[in-house]
Amino acid sequence: METDHRQDAYADYLGVEVDTLGEGHATAALTVNHHHLNPHATAHGALLYSIVGAALAAAANDGINTGVVSGVHIDYLSPAYRGDRLIATATVTEHLARENLYTVRLVRVADGQIVARATGRATRRTRTEATP
């Protein structure tokens, strides 16, 4: 596992644990708490999007490349509830001239149920010593 090059303050605020795995792969995990719920007592869609986004951003910013996410499409497939442990796995699926395309799957750890699936794209440039 690689060290993250920049701390994701928003992910930290939400309680999301991010791991950059390198080569365009990353995970983000969170256990749903009471303050993550919407009025239906399910995990808020913005929370699910944030977990997916944290994994995508980490995948785009590994030890080799640095990137900025420029688009995300997400489908919410099943609800998550208080106490559910969720993990998003981002994987680069296409290398284009100046950007990468990613697939992100958000699953409930207890039963492997897919909670959300997303696709995203991020710019790509080679990390240099001067890259922040």
pLDDT digits (tens, 9 = 90+) for 30-60: 999 999 999 999 999 999 999 999 999 999 9
Whole-number Å distance between alpha carbons of 95 and 85? 31
Q: pTM (2 decimals)?
A: 0.89
Residue predicted with more confidence, 71 or 7: 71
Model confidence at 3, in pLDDT bands (50, 70, 90)?
very low
Both structure tokens of 58: 């980490």
- A 10 A CB-CB count for 110 gives 10
User: Is the torsion defined by CA of 105, 119, 80, 86 positive or negative?
Assistant: positive
Question: Where residue 1 falls among pLDDT bands split at 50, 70, 90?
Answer: very low
Distance of CA 123 to the CA centre of its chain: 16
